[in-house]
Amino acid sequence: MISKQQTPQIRLTGFSEDWVQKKLVDEVIFFSGLTYTPSDVVDKLGTLVLRSSNVQKGAITLGDNVYVNSEVVNSQNVEVGDIIVVVRNGSRNLIGKHAMITKPMTNTVIGAFMTGIRAPVPSFFNTLLDTQEFDDEVSKNLGATINQITGGMFKSMSFYLPESNEQTAIGNLFQNIDQTISLQRRKHEQTQTLKKSLLGKMFPKKGQVQPEIRLTGFSGDWTEVKLGEISDTTIGEFVIKSKQSPNGAYPVYNGGISYTGLYDDFNNEANKIVISARGANAGFVNIVRRKYWAGNSCYSVSIDTKEISIDFLYYFIKENQYLFTNFQQAANIPSVSKGDVEKFNIVLPNSREEQTAIGQLFKKLDDTISLQAKQLKTLENLKKALLAKMFV
């Protein structure tokens, strides 16, 4: 039998001793959550009960709060450094979800479907719960129908742990990584929120001829036209399997959401708007900025006049794509006809310059959102890789 390696693949400088296998219950203190009834729930003048919904992406969030009458509370208040773990839930994927209390929370307890953990080095043990080793310990005890981590299951868990202040060093490292990830996620969400807000205010609302917010230097009413009056809409062609290739130069769009493969040929030039013609995603709108092959479930909208900005047109249609949800029904399959596309109402600024400025603004926001998403994914992948190599 091959013995397990007792040191991680990656060590922080200054540490070299073997890790020691220990029972989790011998290293930390567990505490239980509060059981309460619906009649105990009050408005905000009570004790906050942290539940599964208050644990999101490894952090405590307070957007979905429940308060109970403080007189019924018989469990201990959470403290800074406490790790709260979801131990019972209807969704198996949520079992083991956890977060650390990072700031004082007076008059706050955890719910009955949660378990609290107090550890000598909270950041280290909070990180331990992120590892595959912890997931494996949970999985081997979950039955076919049981979605919970019992006290007995926690007592049976054992892990290889460092016995020195390496715990603190590792905990600090991952706490810094988590903070960086949280900051990047917050920036990403803020940019998405900004874009959503501007989309709602920089295009005229139904029945109006001017937007709520206008870029500096532009004025005057916008004009309503039909999409078919300013563009050309074509349906794509069947995909020929012999032209499909993992190394193809051109993406294949069979709908608007994303490309479904690569192709050795193209039937559309770059910078066209694509709209899903049929299926569950009928009416979904996207823009393709490179040459592509449009499949037979994909409309391509092109502009033949220099008086219209394709970027402006895309963001206007995208903001109003919900209007396509009144699908034509054919054999119970949602669909959008070419006529639906061509009669789509567009409201245009009379100035090409204003169209261009609006299109460029939203394209810049999209580019920023895409870059932030890639940076966030890179950080998350870094953490995942380090978790795999810095624990035993």
Provide block-wise average pLDDT over 10 residues at a time, the chain (392 residues).
76 96 97 97 94 96 94 97 95 93 97 97 98 93 75 94 96 98 97 97 93 95 96 93 89 84 94 91 92 94 90 95 68 83 94 96 98 98 98 96
- pLDDT value for 10: 96
Q: What pLDDT shows up at residue 1?
A: 44
CA 226 to chain centre: 35
Tokens encoding 80: 């800074």
CA distances to 125, 189, 336, 386 from 390, in Å: 13, 30, 52, 6
Dig out the tokens for 101 from the structure: 């209390």
**Are the C-beta atoms of 273 and 300 separated by less than 8 Å?**
yes
What are 41's strand-pairing partners?
68
Q: Distance from CA of residue 339 to its chain's centroid?
A: 35
Residues whose CB falls within 8 Å of the CB of residue 257, separated by 6 or more in sequence, listed in order: 276, 281, 284, 286
pLDDT for 102 = 96
Q: Which domains does the chain have, with CATH numbers?
A: 20-161 (3.90.220.20), 223-348 (3.90.220.20)
Q: Which residues contact 311 (CB under 8 A, 6 or more apart)?
A: 287, 356, 358, 359, 360, 362, 363
Cα torsion for 205, 207, 209, 210, to the nearest 10°?
-30
Q: How far is CA 23 from CA 95, 230, 385, in A?
A: 20, 71, 25
Q: What is the largest CA-CA distance in the chain?
A: 81
Q: How many CB atoms lie within 10 A of CB 392?
A: 18
Cβ contact 326:310 at 8 Å: no
In sequence order, what DSSP letters do the residues of 344-375 get, joined into one string?
-EEEE-S-HHHHHHHHHHHHHHHHHHHHHHHH
User: For the residues of 83-141, what is the DSSP string, one character each?
Assistant: EEEE-B-SSGGGTT-EEE--S--TTEEEBTTEEEEE-SSHHHHHHHTTSHHHHHHHHTT
